[in-house]
Amino acid sequence: MDIARDELAKKPDEVSVEKLQSLLDLALRTTAAAVDPYHEGLTCIVAISQRESSNNDILEEPVSITGLETFSLSYKVHWPLSIVLSRKALTKYQLIFRFLFHCKHVDRQLCGAWQTHQGVRALNTRGTAISRSSLLCRSGIRSMGSIKCIEMHVMHSWSRQSEMPGLSPQHHSSEALTLYFQPVKVERLKSMCLQYAAATQWLISSSIVFHSPDEPKVDSIGAKQSKSGQVRKSTTRNVAVTESVLKFEKEFDTELQSLGSILSSSSQSEPYLAHLAKWVLGVKHEQNGL
């Protein structure tokens, strides 16, 4: 994700799969994955699945698709392993990886927004829109972290179970599908988080007026008039920022509540969803309390 950042930021039809493959091979050779005897079978693909297309149509404000949303991994499965790990099961794993990969991207954008907030910690922002925005940013990071942790935990637990002898090919297919849950709700939450992260710089710069030390001095009358005009502009900006933060906050709270309710209702058939629902609703309650 780091070394391929510039390439993945391009539109899907502009992304060079050959360059991505070279970067993937480099990453595999220079990390702990190099000791894996099967790492040479790993390849990368860039394709817009029907699922991504339909999710983008459902979203109220569709996001522009880049290589980050279309990147996935594939694997060259040879016989006799292909008897157990079918192409259908492998495709489902690809979708799960793409889901986790994009969650990681959203998490990084939110972390960047959090660092922007930390840059103004020295200023007194208590009780302002910036303070609310900082809390919202932290809640977004926690929600994405909860989704990733639960998903990875379940995948790790299942992968250990899959090493048991006598595993049927159908087991791979059915278990892989259960991990890829509630796509539309999660996509809406991720889309909202990306929009918020992109707006963070504007939110902060519009709320805080920085005065240059080289700013020319004016007479007392001109200073009063200038200060009065700055106050009016600052008030207008602050109102717009507050409204924007409250809008993001409301949408975030609504999506968390909806996702938490769906996960809770599905937890009887999938117990691990109960933990995720608890974490998601915990983020919501923390957001409301703060």
Model pLDDT, residue 136: 92
Neighbouring C-beta atoms of residue 31, cutoff 10 Å:
11
Dihedral in degrees, nearest 10, Cα atoms 271, 192, 54, 102: -70
- Six-digit token string for 131: 């303070």
Rg of the chain (C-alpha set) = 23
What is d(CA 100, CA 95) in angstroms, rounded to the nearest whole number?
Answer: 9
- State the pLDDT at residue 124: 66
Q: How many CA atoms lie within 13 A of 78 on its CB side?
A: 4
Q: What is the predicted pLDDT for the residue at 167?
A: 52
pTM reported for the whole predicted model: 0.77
- Segments in the chain below pLDDT 70: 49-63, 124-125, 127, 154-155, 157-183, 208-237, 266-273, 275-276, 280-290
22 φ, ψ (degrees, to nearest 5): -65, -40
pLDDT on residue 217: 47
**What single-letter DSSP state applies at residue 34?**
G
Interior/surface letters 89-108, b for 16+ CB within 10 angstroms, e for the rest: bbebbbbbebbbbbbebbbb
Bridge-based pairing state of the strands 42-46 and 71-75:
antiparallel
Model pLDDT, residue 248: 92
Question: Residue 252 and residue 268: Cα distance in Å, rounded?
Answer: 26
pLDDT in tens, 33-82: 888 887 888 899 888 765 555 555 544 544 578 899 889 888 888 888 77
